[in-house]
Amino acid sequence: MVYQPEEDSFMLEKWVKELVKGKVLEVGVGSGILMKAALKSTKKVSGVDIDKENVEFCKKKGLNVKESDLFSNVNGKFDFIIFNPPYLPSEKGEKDYRDLIGGKKGWEIIERFFKDVKKYLEKEGKVLILFSSLTNKKKVDGIIKRNKFEFELLEEKSMFFESLYVYLCQAK
């Protein structure tokens, strides 16, 4: 099933429209809502997703998307990389919920992303990422710092069971 936009997608969409420019990559495209938002300010937008169904759905909408587990099928460098990762923790790692589950603790996919993202960023390139307090904000902050990125909290939104955070990150 194609990941349908929720509050997190709409929150990140606002920042994509405001900040994104140049050559753009979205990692984990889901329904393609963030790619469409980026196309309002630049024509150089591509995306990847691990889920074949998401890829096919976006291709039918005319979006430039290919199948990839994070950066496994990505070439080139980008001015902006957008990532709305699966960030919920789950001991079971339910396969049917891989659009939502970020690992046992929730941050494992974010850690894999930051380990490799620098190789795909232009010198002044930026990362726009969203995650939840359920993921463990201190842990995510540590992952970002350990991978030699600076970050700015652009927005925090409290909801009844979690807070959502949007960060703008840049390599030091």
Residues 111-149: pLDDT tens digits? 999 999 999 999 999 999 999 898 889 999 999 999 999
Per-residue model confidence (pLDDT) at position 88: 59
Distance between alpha carbon 132 and the CA centroid of its chain, in Å? 12
Task: Supply the pTM of this predicted model.
Answer: 0.90
pLDDT in tens, 15-71: 999 999 999 999 999 999 999 999 999 999 999 999 899 999 999 999 999 999 999
Task: Kindly indicate the confidence band of residue 5, based on its pLDDT and cuts at 50, 70 and 90.
Answer: low
Task: Walk me through the domains of the chain, giving residue ranges and CATH numbers.
Answer: 7-171 (3.40.50.150)
Task: Kindly indicate the confidence band of residue 11, based on its pLDDT and cuts at 50, 70 and 90.
Answer: very high
Largest CA distance in the chain: 40
Angle separating helix axes 137-146 and 108-116, nearest 10 degrees: 20
pLDDT in tens, 62-120: 999 999 999 999 999 999 999 998 765 565 554 544 555 545 666 888 999 999 999 99
